[in-house]
């Protein structure tokens, strides 16, 4: 009987070890986003300070990090407010975040879609995040709020109001 249990246990362990990579990637992407949003919960929390290129590259794909840095540099040169005039993770300049929930689903090899929902100053909010798996880990490639996208703001484009989710490029 012990032999049969041993074989059954070995068989189950082998099957779990052979799960496809995307199923395991979910947990890593989930932890990545949870670590970000954990920094926003509560009053007067600092959130993620995106003041240096090193920090940008810890959270965003190189392409998106470069767009954010260029926006900040251009604004500083011109003594103007940057196009990204708030915190991209919560889509606001001020926050008092409660009831955070983060979900992640795989959408292809090395890609995932994250959804962060929370209450900010008494108002329910939802933020979609496109994630890419890079050699250094998961990074954000796009952020969408109900009325705009991060790349759209940085490129001076507006996402049409009411555009159905399924028509958005993932």
Q: Mean of the pLDDT values across residues 110-118? A: 97
pLDDT at 51 (0 to 100): 87
In angstroms, the CA 88 to CA 50 distance is 10
Q: Is pLDDT of 135 > 70?
A: yes
3 pLDDT tier (thresholds 50, 70, 90): very low
d(CA 57, CA 48): 13
- Contact call for residues 127 and 101 (beta carbons, < 8 A): no
Taking 70 as the threshold, does the pLDDT of residue 117 lie above it?
Answer: yes
Backbone angles phi, psi at 31, to 5 degrees: -65, -40
Tell me the per-residue pLDDT of 66-113, one tens digit each, with 9 for 90 and over: 999 999 999 999 999 999 999 999 999 999 999 999 999 999 999 999
DSSP code string of 48-94: ----SHHHHHHHB-HHHHHHHHHHHHHHHHTT---S--SBTTTTBSS
How far is Cα 169 from Cα 18, in angstroms, rounded to an integer? 31
- Separation between Cα atoms, residue 138 and residue 161, nearest integer Å: 29
**How do residues 8-60 score in pLDDT, each as one tens digit?**
444 444 444 444 444 455 799 999 999 999 999 988 899 999 989 999 999 99
Structure confidence by residue, pLDDT tens digits, 48-74: 999 899 999 999 999 999 999 999 999
Helix, strand and coil percent figures for the chain, each rounded to 5: 40, 30, 30
């Amino acid at each position: 009987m012990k032999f049969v249990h041993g074989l059954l246990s070995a068989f189950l362990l082998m099957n779990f070890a052979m799960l496809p990579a995307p199923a395991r990637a979910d947990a890593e992407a989930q932890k990545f986003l949870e670590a970000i949003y954990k920094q926003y919960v509560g009053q007067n929390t600092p959130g993620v300070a995106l003041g240096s290129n090193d920090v940008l590259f810890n959270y965003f794909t190189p392409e998106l990090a470069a767009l954010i840095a260029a926006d900040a540099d251009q604004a500083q040169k011109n003594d103007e407010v940057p196009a990204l005039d708030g915190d991209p993770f919560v889509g606001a300049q001020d926050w008092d975040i409660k009831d955070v929930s983060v979900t992640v689903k795989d959408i292809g090899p090395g890609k995932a879609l994250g959804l962060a929902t929370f209450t900010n100053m008494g108002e329910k909010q939802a933020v979609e995040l496109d994630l890419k798996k890079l050699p250094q880990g998961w990074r954000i490639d796009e952020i969408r709020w109900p009325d705009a996208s991060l790349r759209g703001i940085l490129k001076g484009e507006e996402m049409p109001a009411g555009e159905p989710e399924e028509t958005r490029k993932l």
